[in-house]
Structure 1
Amino acid sequence: MVTTKHKSLIVVTLVGAALISATGVGAAAGSIQSCTVSSSCTVGEFVYDDEYTPVTGGTCIITARDPNGVVYIDPTAMTYTSDGWFSYQFTAPTTTGYYRAQVCCTIGTEYMCLDKSWEVVAAAASVPSAGDIASAVWGYSSRTMSGFGTLAADVWNRIPRTLTAGSVESADLTKIKQTGDANRLLLERLVNKPIIQNFIEEDIPEVGTKIEETRTVANQLFMSGQFVVSKTGVVSLKWGQLTDSELSKSMVEIGKTLGEETDSVATNTMFGQLASLKAAWGWKELDIAYDQAKAVKQAMADRRFSGVKSLTSFAAALEKAVGSVVARVDEVEKLAAVLEEKQIEADKMLAGGATQTRVDQLVKAVLAVNRLPKVERALAPSFAADTSEKRLKNRVLAVRGLIGANKKFLAKGMTGSVDYTWLEVGSIVFKSLVTNPSLLISQTVELKYYLPEEIKKEDILQTDAGLEVKFDAEKNQYYVEGQYLLKPGESRTLAVRTTDIWIISQEMVDSVRKQAVELARPLEKTAYFAQSITLKSDIDVALDKVLALQKTAVTPEQKIRAYREAQIEMNGAADKMDKLKDLVTQASASTNLFGFVGGSQTMAVWGLIIILVAGFVFLAIYMRTLNGGGGEVKMEEPKVYRTGQGKMAIAVLVGVLTAGMTGMVSWKVNSGPAPMVLGVGGPDIVRVIVPTGGTVNVLLSTSVKSGVVARLNMSTEAIRLAQDAKWVQVAAEDQSWQGWVAREFVVESGGE
């Protein structure tokens, strides 16, 4: 039986088409559900608990907005069946487009929301079957097997009519133009539809290696083109002197150089080289060169003199096309070099020495080589920075982001849509540049940007209008999503501001270092000293690396990566700390008479040993007394009272010694400090101090490796529940969180 406390919702996405007719809805797993105008449509989910038992006692609410953002479905409860199916049925409206919808389910104390958006589409025109077409043809009343009716007469009786020219009415031209424009716009939407989805893990594209490979292939293509031109020229000049065998041999050599139209990128022929460049860049110059190579290949079949002349002409055209390709490679190579140079200059400014004049000069130089349309607004700040230093740094970061966007555009062959994201400071600002690649039509850009995995919802401080914060349960990450209508060739920058949580404070590092020192100190005169020195040294190295990683990070992207590497080092230091604690525990049982930590077991053993030794000593004294101190033993009647007095003295002495040792053991065991009892007489209020510009983590336990319960961005009062030498257990006054905080961040209420 799954209790309410441990129950979680398992939601299985299914297609509403299972409940309605095929003409009314069509969807597939992983795609957007489509509903036909004015048809019945159902949106639903199966809901299970942890044991995959259908949930029927909860409540699921659906809300939706139409393509214009107007509320289409107010929060409405969904119906459910015994198999856990929660659904909502409606008649699809006449307004076509994308309807944003959300389903939120509450089962006991559990709560989950899902995206259930759908699309309303127009009814498709019915397509006649082959049988219908055949019936219409054979059932036509004027059909004959041998005549065309009045078709010929209508053609010849057309006035005016000529054999060399014809007339077309202006209305026909208008209709043809409208049809051509419509088809062109449809193709534009298919080819240049921008859909943006990216992650912070994306780096500035490295185009250097790609350009080097392109240069190698372009040089080979140029040499192959020169060979074809040279060979066709020789054949043209000596056509009358060449035998059929010699002519055939020359054509074979030209054919091997050209290759076949189906050659892949791995083939060392002109067609293979063109295929390689097309796969990498997709330039129109490559299409022209490809067509010219095909023309040369076809012209080789005509061995007549006129055919050879045509072959020479096509070869010259191919040479010119290849020259255009090489010139394009030169252009890209120079642009990449300038962008790389400006990126290095920007990195130097971020490292130090940036002035307003230098930054303005950098902006001007980058805009001069920029290939993206209307990007000047990308350099404007999205959120106000609190200092002039941060404002200047953000301008450099924006220029660096524009350089990265151009590199990405360059890597794509300077065609199609481009999206690129960079980070700025104050706290941390994520900026995404999106473009509409079409120069003909306005288009809706769909942006989906995944935030770093460390971000929680409370860390998101501000977003641009139109961006929604959502959670991807599969990736376990928050993301922002939005749709924006961009004019032809328009670019836009969208921003999200979050708390800077990628900091491991100097105070936290010092606290761990101090704890290592205090643990290692008592081991100095033990057999574990060498091991403790090694462990402490490893901890110090890890902590030094943590500080060095954070210090060398210049850009916010580098800061996030440095934080993640530093967390690995902190976890390693925590492992070494646990091993150091184990050494202290082992040393406590064997250090001295009273032990090191507690020592009750060691004290008991030594107490028994001392009692046994004392017993033997007093037994020897007793035997000596009986013998009269030595010498010849006189056979006398022993004095009973003396013997009884000796035995009594020994018994009393042993009893006193035993009682003393037992008392000492008990005192040692119980003489430790009494445990602190907090909260007597009311809550013990303390204040958790958060350093300026930093955060303090509330941990699950007294280990830096434990999970983070809460992250405090500002100083706050809390209830102290318990504490030890290093940590304090605190809870929020509203009971929203409870955990452990390093003791140096906690002061008495009213203190700072």
Structure 2
Amino acid sequence: MNFRRLAPTILNIFIFLGLLCWFIKPAMAAEQTQNYYSGPVSSIGSFVSNIWNYNSQSISYIRELIGSVLSKGDQATSSSSDPTSIVKADEINEIQKIITTTRPSLEQLASKPIVKQLNNQSSSADLSDKISKTQNIADSLYGSLQNLKSRSLILEKKWSTLNQKEIQSELTTLSNIFKQDVSGGDTNIIAYSGWLKTSWNNPILLNLSDQALAAQSQINNLINDISLYNSAKVDTFKPALGHIQKLDGLVGSSLATSSDLNLFGFIKKTTEQVALLDKQIQEADKILAEYKSDPSVDRTQSIDKLAAQVISSSLVPRVDQFPFPTTSSKIITPVNKILSLKALSDAGRRLLTTNNGQVITTIWLAEVNTIHTLVVNPNQTPQTASLKFALPPELKMEQIKNHDRGLNIVFDSTEDALIVSGEISLNALETRSLTLETDNIWNLNQEDIDNLKNQADELLGYLGNTSYFSQAISIKNQLGALDEVLLKQKQSVTPEEKIVTFREISIEINQVEEKINSLRSLALNAQNSGDVLGYASGIHPLTLWGIIAVIIACLIFGVIYISALRSEFKLNRAGVLPPPESPTLNHARPRYHHREKSNHRARKFTKIITFALIFGGLGSLGTSLILTYGSQVPLSQITAPKPQKVLGSSTEKSYPYESRLRLPNSGYITVHTAPLLTSPQVTLLTDTSTVLVFKSIDHWVQIGLSNDDQSKNWWISDIYLEK
């Protein structure tokens, strides 16, 4: 192979590659240009302009790049032995393990009831079914009594014309109507009246049952007398007929009004009472919703109007102690008053739902972290109420601040919650309110949310001058839930809403904590990648393969085009060369040959430069777009990176050491069971000034009030320690 022929080709290839690298370099720097470009991208032209302007920084960029890689190498070398570096692999693994084990419990907690009654009381939702069944019984009784009354009147009228056997047969038919059971169930007059007596605490229904039993008893006595004495006078039938007529009057008809003292009147009155109670509950919910939309508006007039309606129509006896203030604080807030009114209406529904004279309990949550229990004895005789309900599973024994006497609190492994129980003695028609106060564990401090944001910003700033910055930005953009957490918490009005919201946002924060831990993993990778290959390892695979594809394509087309230029040059040169010299003629050597050769080389070099400019520019733009969209990070969301720094203290303290606390604006510090914001809460620190620090993990410290508390595993955020 003739090296002389290959030399121009090799030279042209090197020239092309040099130009290509010069023009492709801005594309390789496009991602860094995005980081330093803080304004909006108005067009592709402005984006390309920023890339080209980056050429002026080429020398300083390379110097900074090399310095960054070398500094990262030094940092990685020192981080293996320096315990104060930004992150540690064992801490990342420990935090991730806590996050993984905490999330299932948070998800299960979201579906659990806030307070669960365990004494099998009927719910208010059963009231509509009870009224519907009563209506069906009334219709059936009306039909049966019409038949019974008609036959009884005919028997009385024809008594003197009938023989004893005919009278006995007709009396037996009347007796069977009382206890007839066609369908195999308790569908006769006696069974129906007995169900009404035991299901409703009402004197009308009690009298109805007594009249049915008395009428049947009188008829059965007449049948026995005829069997024994073979005779019976019509006067002996009149008492039974009187009970039947009273029974008919107590049942009434569908035309009865709510003021009529019969079964149909009772049903209409009860239906109206239920509608009124439901309306009162809806009005209470409406006022609470108005408080939620605008808490600054004074709604005292609306609350007082509702209170007058509820108390005047209340089915709860002796409500003179309304609105049942809390045990210790005695604070009656507007929201608490509305919740108490709503509880009274709900207690009325429960009184209508339960069986005759049974004690009912209504439980509701109030502000100031108080759980109320309303116990009502609707009977005319003293009774004992058996209380048993489960507290919210989040509560621990240490978080119970105060409770009324007679309430016992123990942990139940079956319910996995604290159980409140007690035997409460009640006088006739007595109503009592029992309270239990707890710590406020369903609230997040602003400082804790800000701390999570600061952690993400610090990690992002550390990763700013590394190849992991685009991945860090992508993770950071997924932390938007933090901005909505406190807003959701603020919009919750009732204690039930606050607990439900807290459970929901705890799951969201747990996901945020996992994202932040992912940033720590990237920071650890940045610490450990101390060479050029480590710098390139953070490039997205799509970006890397895109760069390779663009370079290979440009190289192939460049070689093909240069080969074509060489072929054209050879043909042109062959066409302009003079014929071989004749031995007889001595022609003068053409003087234009050198000039044409020089012009042709200039044109060829110009074409090569033009080609390199075109494909280099296309390669630069293509690589820029690949870098831009390969990272999947919108330009508008990328901010200039912060200067690289190593986080953490440079000095290590020996454990345990004493530290002073700094209380947040809320006035308390939440203590957790693990170094995680969504881990279970243990207690609140309100008046503690100093603590002992036993251990630190990331932004968390294990604390105690004495050396004996190390086994308690108490954790707080380190932002509450005075620096």
TM score, norm. by length of structure 2: 0.51
* Alignment partner of 1:217 out of 136, 142, 149: 136
Alignment pair present for 1:318 and 2:262: no
* Alignment partner of 1:260 out of 169, 175, 180: 180
* Alignment partner of 1:363 out of 296, 307, 319: 307
Tell me, what secondary structure is at the counterpart of 2:442?
coil
CA shift for structure 1 position 469: 5.3
Q: What is aligned with 2:496?
A: 557
1:709–1:739: 8 Å Cα contact kept in structure 2? yes
| Cα-to-partner distance string for 1:304-327 (whole Å, 9 max, x where unaligned) | 994987776554333223232222
* Alignment partner of 1:593 out of 509, 513, 532: 532
Q: What is aligned with 1:734?
A: 706
Point out where structure 1 has 5 or more consecutive residues left out of the alignment: 1-196, 600-670
User: Partner amino acid for 1:556?
Assistant: P
Tell me, what secondary structure is at the counterpart of 1:416?
coil
* Alignment partner of 2:200 out of 259, 281, 292: 281
Q: What is aligned with 1:712?
A: 685
Change (3 A) 1:678 1:590: closer
Alpha-carbon distance in 1 for matches of 2:407, 2:500: 26
Tell me, what secondary structure is at the counterpart of 2:716?
strand
1:258–1:270: 8 Å Cα contact kept in structure 2? yes
| Structure with more strand by fraction | 1
| Cα-to-partner distance string for 1:592-628 (whole Å, 9 max, x where unaligned) | 93426999xxxxxxxxxxxxxxxxxxxxxxxxxxxxx
Change (3 A) 1:476 1:462: same
Tell me, what secondary structure is at the counterpart of 1:431?
strand
Q: What is aligned with 1:95?
A: none
CA shift for structure 1 position 727: 1.2
Change (3 A) 1:699 1:676: farther
User: Partner amino acid for 2:671?
Assistant: N
| Cα-to-partner distance string for 1:478-523 (whole Å, 9 max, x where unaligned) | 4566666654433332322222211134444455566567778969
Tell me, what secondary structure is at the counterpart of 1:379?
coil
2:411–2:419: 8 Å Cα contact kept in structure 1? yes
Alpha-carbon distance in 2 for matches of 1:556, 1:218: 41
Alpha-carbon distance in 1 for matches of 2:455, 2:490: 23
Q: What is aligned with 1:24?
A: none
Q: What is aligned with 2:357?
A: 415
2:359–2:385: 8 Å Cα contact kept in structure 1? no
CA shift for structure 1 position 435: 4.1
Give the alignment of 1:466-477 within 5 angstroms: 470-472=410-412, 475=415, 477=417
Q: What is aligned with 2:370?
A: 429
CA shift for structure 1 position 263: 7.6
Q: What is aligned with 1:116?
A: none
Tell me, what secondary structure is at the counterpart of 1:371?
coil
Change (3 A) 1:371 1:684: closer
TM score, norm. by length of structure 1: 0.50
Give the alignment of 1:139-150 within 5 angstroms: none
Alignment pair present for 1:459 and 2:394: no
CA shift for structure 1 position 217: 2.0
Q: What is aligned with 1:748?
A: 722
Change (3 A) 1:285 1:431: same
Alpha-carbon distance in 2 for matches of 1:338, 1:392: 22
2:131–2:267: 8 Å Cα contact kept in structure 1? no
CA shift for structure 1 position 556: 2.0
2:485–2:505: 8 Å Cα contact kept in structure 1? yes
Alpha-carbon distance in 2 for matches of 1:270, 1:592: 95
Tell me, what secondary structure is at the counterpart of 2:534?
coil
Alpha-carbon distance in 2 for matches of 1:398, 1:672: 56
| Cα-to-partner distance string for 1:647-686 (whole Å, 9 max, x where unaligned) | xxxxxxxxxxxxxxxxxxxxxxxx9889854215993635
Q: What is aligned with 2:664?
A: 690
Alpha-carbon distance in 1 for matches of 2:535, 2:199: 70
CA shift for structure 1 position 213: 2.0
User: Partner amino acid for 1:402?
Assistant: L
Change (3 A) 1:675 1:395: closer
CA shift for structure 1 position 336: 1.8
**Structure with bigger RCO (C-alpha 8 Å, 6+ apart):** 2
CA shift for structure 1 position 529: 7.5
2:181–2:188: 8 Å Cα contact kept in structure 1? no
| Cα-to-partner distance string for 1:109-139 (whole Å, 9 max, x where unaligned) | xxxxxxxxxxxxxxxxxxxxxxxxxxxxxxx
* Alignment partner of 2:337 out of 395, 399, 413: 395
1:727–1:742: 8 Å Cα contact kept in structure 2? yes
| Cα-to-partner distance string for 1:246-287 (whole Å, 9 max, x where unaligned) | 9999999988975537987x6655455446545643645445
1:502–1:559: 8 Å Cα contact kept in structure 2? yes
Change (3 A) 1:413 1:681: closer
Tell me, what secondary structure is at the counterpart of 1:407?
helix
CA shift for structure 1 position 376: 1.3
| Structure with more helix by fraction | 2
Q: What is aligned with 1:340?
A: 278
Alpha-carbon distance in 2 for matches of 1:455, 1:200: 21
Change (3 A) 1:592 1:334: farther
Q: What is aligned with 1:404?
A: 346
2:363–2:372: 8 Å Cα contact kept in structure 1? yes
Alpha-carbon distance in 1 for matches of 2:357, 2:263: 16
2:467–2:535: 8 Å Cα contact kept in structure 1? no
Q: What is aligned with 1:493?
A: 433
Change (3 A) 1:563 1:202: farther
Change (3 A) 1:497 1:358: same
CA shift for structure 1 position 348: 2.8
CA shift for structure 1 position 444: 6.6
Tell me, what secondary structure is at the counterpart of 2:288?
helix
Change (3 A) 1:681 1:696: closer
Change (3 A) 1:700 1:258: same
Tell me, what secondary structure is at the counterpart of 1:377?
coil
Change (3 A) 1:482 1:297: closer
Tell me, what secondary structure is at the counterpart of 2:661?
strand
CA shift for structure 1 position 335: 1.9
| Cα-to-partner distance string for 1:419-476 (whole Å, 9 max, x where unaligned) | 3333322x212232334555455x6766566543323333233334565655556655
Change (3 A) 1:593 1:733: same
Change (3 A) 1:198 1:314: same
Alpha-carbon distance in 1 for matches of 2:496, 2:250: 43
CA shift for structure 1 position 412: 1.5
1:532–1:580: 8 Å Cα contact kept in structure 2? no
Change (3 A) 1:675 1:393: closer
1:229–1:319: 8 Å Cα contact kept in structure 2? no
2:122–2:350: 8 Å Cα contact kept in structure 1? no
Alpha-carbon distance in 2 for matches of 1:259, 1:220: 17
Q: What is aligned with 1:606?
A: none
Alignment pair present for 1:502 and 2:448: no
Alpha-carbon distance in 1 for matches of 2:310, 2:703: 52
Change (3 A) 1:536 1:249: farther
| Cα-to-partner distance string for 1:220-267 (whole Å, 9 max, x where unaligned) | 3354246425753785599699999x9999999988975537987x66
Change (3 A) 1:466 1:335: same
CA shift for structure 1 position 373: 2.7
Point out where structure 2 has 5 or more consecutive residues left out of the alignment: 1-115, 227-231, 253-261, 292-296, 539-644
CA shift for structure 1 position 399: 2.4
2:357–2:379: 8 Å Cα contact kept in structure 1? no
* Alignment partner of 1:379 out of 283, 306, 323: 323
Tell me, what secondary structure is at the counterpart of 1:320?
helix
Q: What is aligned with 2:90?
A: none
